[in-house]
Amino acid sequence: MWSLISPSELEQYLDENRDMVLVDLRDRNSYQASHIQGAVNIPYEEMAAQLYQLPRNVLIVLYCYHGPRSMLMARYLAEQGFTVADVYGGLESYQGKYKVYS
């Protein structure tokens, strides 16, 4: 199962310290330049090979830069049995207090 969440819903999840794994699907250079606090970086191209790192009993929240890649990955992970949320509009849309710049 997967759902689409807004950047403000992600902000609420972070404020509540919700039990989740936040995954940034962008490349390593993009992640190092900016990301959302607490996110782990698993580039889109590597995700299928890294599934073993993700817990199956916790919500997986994905984002990329604009949103399309994370939506595709959300569908894929849901087919693999994960509970997934995709941040609508990606990092570009998230302007909350948890955005980190290097």
Choosing from 64, 77, 85, 91, which is the catalytic residue? 64
**Residue 96 three-state SS:** coil
64 is catalytic: yes
24 CB-side CA count, 13 A: 22
**81: three-class secondary structure by DSSP:** coil
Measured distance CA(69)–CA(91) in Å, rounded: 12
DSSP summary character for residue 65: S
Q: How many CA within 13 A on the CB side of residue 63?
A: 28
The catalytic residue positions are 64
